[in-house]
Structure formats: structure tokens, C-alpha cells
Amino acid sequence: MGELLPAMEEEGVSSLGAVVILVVDSRPENQLLLTRVLAPFGWRVVTESLGQAVAARVRRDRPNAVILDVRLPDMDGLAVCRALKSEAGGANTPVLFVSTTDDMTLRLQAFEAGGVDFIVRPFHPQELVARLSHHLVLQQLQRKLQDQNQNLQEAVRERARTEAEFRALLEAMTDIIAVYDRQGNCLRLVHTNSDLSFELLAAQYATAVRTQVEEYLAYIQIVLETQQTVHDAEYTLMLDGREFWFSANISPLGPDQVLWVAREITGRKRVDEALQRSSSFLNAQKEAALDGILAVDEQGRIINYNHRFCEMWELPEAVLAGLEAERLLMALIWRAELPEELAAMVEAAYDNPDLPQRAEIPFGDRVFDCYSGPVFSPAGKFYGMNWYFRDVTDRFQAQAAIAAERDKADRLLLNILPAPIANRLKQNETTIADSFAEVTILFSDIVGFTQIAAYLNPAELVALLDEIFSTFDTIAEAHGLEKIKTIGDEYMAVAGLPLPAHDHACRAAEAALAMQAAIGRFQNGEGHPIQLRVGLHSGPVVAGVIGRRKFAYDLWGDAVNLASRMESQGEPGKIQVTAATYQYLQEHYRLQLRGNIEIKGKGSMATYWLEGYI
């Protein structure tokens, strides 16, 4: 075997890269022999003893080739090969049959089943490796050929797509496309969908450019010398007795030719002339107005403005003078760092030119009422927009002061009452009392509060209670509970009102668990964690507002008393719930039966400990 490896490496076996060979043979000694022959070449050999497992092994290991014994204990090797070839993953995997019988009929059957070779035992290892390498190389070449063929097909499709796009582009273009040589001769005029009648004016255009545009030859020379495109070269031509304006982009097309792409801009030029005529009207009125005035054409270019506009927006004349020739309004907004709200308003105005735009925009310590009005010709053609700016700072400040006072009053009311109840009071409801069929009431009490108070001075005690109850407020709000009140060290909240909630018991349970988790970070005066008793009960209540000068939102009903008993007769660090609440929670929470306890006014009742989530 030591002489076999160098000999085969010279023949290029090692160039095949990572190779996986599946050996299917029921005899372990045959599997071992083939592994010892193939493994020295860096090939990974996997083995299988049963024919029925071959398909799964091929899907899992994806072998480059299969060496298959003709006779297997569970099924015929020929049948295994046929089944393998019927699957997409094994159709292209070469199968080499191995047999102890050199029978011609069997050979033919093996090849008909899909095998690529037939090897008779005993065999010479070098012969086996040579045959296997031959089929692996063929497989590798076949895959490369398939890849190349696929790449070629993709290239052909891409070229066809590109050509189709180019044809569609030419058909959709309204520009005139011509090719000129260095001397200015028109070599070709491409037919596009130009508004010009191609049949009547094409020949005139080529000649007219050469005879009427004095700079055309200079354009061609500049483009050829610099090999750079000249953009927006404007010129006029007399074609068929009419004047046409054109704007051309001239690009190099090799060392001696240029591509001349011209677009007719006669309509745009006529619009420009109309805008110039209309500017006289704006100039007559702009300085007489107390408002800032700005006139902009349909392309967003500044036509006119008054000095009040510059004063309001703190624009030196130098800023406007420094704009490029097109004098775009958006360029002014960005250069002068005017508010983004103004930029958004301008964009919206040009997206919907038929609709006036209006907004109040703050600028420094001032507020401007900004609005626009579109300008149309008598025929309905859009010419542009007039913008008006009025200083409304005094009115805005007065409105803001009123709104601030109203908001302050609303916040104060919301600190006392739930939002729906506060809204009803603001609508002058005098008596508010609502019945709720199903809510869950939560009571909590700090264990050993009297002893804690003995260790703390009044300021420290109040600060501790404030921090604890603020934490409880956050928890109650997060879980949709309405805080009712605090009495000393007792905290009361309810789930399911003022807006009914079908999951009121779950909300209260989650809040109770969160409160028990949060209380552990607070310590009493001796440095020990504070403990909490919590009680829950579900049932009907009446909720309403009492008082005329000082409002209070409170609950009444037997359910309130029973929830309070659950807290007062509970145990430190635990959450006690009634059977009514248990019915809501049993499917989602861990609850432990405490047993029957005596409840004042109720007698013996079964209660439960809420311990956590399931």
C-alpha cells in the first residue's frame, strides 16, 4: 500500500479535492479493506451495511461516488442502484458495483441499473483507485460543463434582456439622437419618438445644426479632445419655418465621433417668457404688503420677493445674491438654515400644486403663519406659487399660555381621577356612580410598619413610603390597574375599571407578583428587607366620585371588604386570593390551597396562595 499512494498521486488523484466515498457492503472486512485503500488519498470513506439505508445516507453525506456490493442481506444491490438513480440527489452520483462473480449477464444488469463500472473480487487496489478516480474526474468535468453551460445561458438571457431594454429605451425616448464625425458631418440620425415629425424634419435638423449653430463644431472638438460630455448646450433652429429650442448633451463616441442627444425645450422657453411677463405684477405689489412675499415658478425657482420677507427670515441680500443662477427656493432654505418645516411645506406644495398649503412655523423666538397660493394661467396652466408669511408671535404666545394653563389643570385632575372619569366631570356630569359586574381588587400592606416607623424619623419614613408607592404606581400602570388610594402603609388598586377588561384577574395577579418582587429591594431601619402582604378578590363593585371641592374616586361593595380581609389575614411575603379569583387564575398561575379560614362576616372560606406563573 505504501507504493500505491505515490504512484497514484503522480496521476493526479490528489487534485480531486475533498471527496466522499460511500461503501455499501454487509461484510465488515470488505468495508475495512476499501477504507484502507481509499483513505490514504485524503478521501473520506463512509460505510453502510443495508441497502434500504443507502438513500438516506446519500441524502445526508452527499457522496461523490458509491461502491456497491451486488449482494446485500436485505435487498438486491441492483434494486438499490435503481432506487438511488430515481432520486434527484443520486441521479448523477457514479455507482461502482463490486462482485465475487464475473458473470456477463450480471455485468449487463448492473450497467442497465445505472452503474458506471463493475469490479470483480479479488481486485488490485491500484486498479480500483484508478477506475474510481476516472469516474470522479468524469463527474467533475461534467459538473464544470454544466456550470459553464448554465453561465452561458444566463449570459445569453442577460444580453437579450439588455438589448430589449435598449430597444424599449430608444422607442420611449423623445430626444433626437445623431452621430457626428470630427469634421461635423452627420453620420447617422437615430429614429426616436421625438415630437418633431421625423420624416419631414429629420434631414432639415442635421443640416440646420451645421449651418445655424455656430458653436456646434467647437462642441465636437472639445468633447473629442477632453473625452468628456458637454451638458445642456442650448441653441435654436429654424425648421420648416418655425423656431425650435433645443438642449443637447454631447458625448464622446470613440476617438473621432460624438453622440449628439438633443431635447426640444421650446415649451419650457415659452413658459419662462410668460413668467417674466407676470413678474411685473408681483413687483408692483410686493413692497406695499406688511407680510413677507415670495414668488416661485413651477420649477421652484425664486422669481421675486420683498424686503419684508428678508427681514422676517433674517436673510441678508448677499445670501440671495450668492445663489446659483437658477435661484432655487430649496437651495435658499438649506443654505440659510431655515426650518425643516418650511422645506417640508414647500415639497408638499409642489407635490399637490392645486392645494394651498398653510402652517405655523417657529423661527427663533418668533412664529410665522406661512401659506401658499398656486398661480394659474387663464387656461389653467400652472405657473408657480405665491408664498405669504405673517408674524403671529403675539397671538401664538397668548394661545400657548391658555393651552398651558388648561393642560396644567387637566394634569392636576388626572392625578386625582381616572382619565374617563375626569373627562365626564369636565362635561359637567354632577353625579358619577357606575356598577361593574366583574373586577379584581388588590390590597397590599407593609409588614411590621409600626416597627419600621420607630427606627426612622418622619422625613425618612415619608421618603421610604413615597419610593415604595411610586414603584407600586409604576407597576399598576404597566399592568392596567387603576390606583384607588393609599391609607397609611396600605395600597389599594383595582383591575377592570373604569374600562372593563376580561383579563382583570390576570392583570391584578401580575401586578401583585411584581410588587412582591419589587418590595425586596427596600430595607427597614435594621437593614432587613421589607415584606409585603397582598390580598386579591374578584367580584362586583360600585365606583364613583365623591366630594365637591376635593374629588375622590372610590369603590364600594362587599368585594372590597373581602379583598381587604385577604390582605389583613394573609402572611408576610405571600399573596392570598379567594376562590372567586382562583377560578380566573388556575389555568395560568401556580396556586396552593391554603385551606379554610374564618373571615369576619363571611364565616369559613377556602383561600389560596398565588405563588407564580405556570
Q: Locate the domains of the chain by residue range.
A: 4-145, 173-264, 283-395, 419-613
* Most confident among 286-295, 304-313, 439-448 (mean pLDDT): 439-448
Reference 179, options 264, 263, 260, 237; nearest CA is 260
Per-residue CA distances from 226 to 40, 105, 218, 447, 602 (Å): 64, 79, 12, 90, 102
Instruction: Judge: domain 173-264, CATH 3.30.450.20.
Output: yes
SS3 content of the chain, % helix, strand, coil (to 5): 45, 30, 25
Over the stretch 377-416, which tens digit does the pLDDT of each residue have? 888 898 999 999 999 988 888 888 887 777 776 666 556 6
Query: What local confidence, expressed as pLDDT, does residue 509 receive?
Result: 95
Report whether pLDDT(1) > 50: no
Whether 173-264 shares its CATH topology with 419-613 is answered no
What burial letters (b/e) apply to 223-245, b meaning 16+ CB within 10 Å? bbeeeeebeebebebebeeeebb
Report whether pLDDT(206) > 80: no
CATH architecture of 4-145: 3-Layer(aba) Sandwich (3.40)
Mean pLDDT of 292-304: 88
Over the stretch 104-131, which tens digit does the pLDDT of each residue have? 988 998 889 888 899 999 989 998 898 9
Mean of the per-residue pLDDT values of the chain: 84
Measure the CA–CA gap between 268 and 398, rounded to whole angstroms.
48
Do 522 and 472 contact (CB within 8 A), yes or no? no
Over the stretch 551-599, which tens digit does the pLDDT of each residue have? 777 888 999 999 999 999 999 999 999 999 999 999 999 999 999 998 8
The helix or strand, by DSSP H or E, that contains position 44, with its residue range, turns out to be strand 44-48
Q: What nine digits make up the cell of 575? A: 399573596
Report whether pLDDT(443) > 50: yes
Give 22's DSSP letter: E
Three-state DSSP class for 19?
A: coil
Mean pLDDT of 31-60: 89
Reference 205, options 218, 196, 215; nearest CA is 196
Number of residues that this document lists for the chain: 614
Fold designation for 283-395: Beta-Lactamase (3.30.450)
Class of domain 419-613: alpha beta
Query: What local confidence, expressed as pLDDT, does residue 220 receive?
Result: 87
Query: What local confidence, expressed as pLDDT, does residue 4 receive?
Result: 46
Query: What local confidence, expressed as pLDDT, does residue 590 receive?
Result: 94
Q: What nine digits make up the cell of 210? A: 451645421
Do 226 and 258 contact (CB within 8 A), yes or no? no
DSSP string, 372-411: EEEEE-TT--EEEEEEEEEE-HHHHHHHHHHHHHHHHHHH
Q: What's the gap between Cα 416 and its chain centre?
A: 41
**Burial classification of residue 504, based on how many CB atoms lie within 10 Å of its CB (0-12 exposed, 13-18 middle, 19 or more buried):** buried
Measure the CA–CA gap between 530 and 417, rounded to whole angstroms.
30
Residue 349 φ then ψ, to 5°: -65, -40
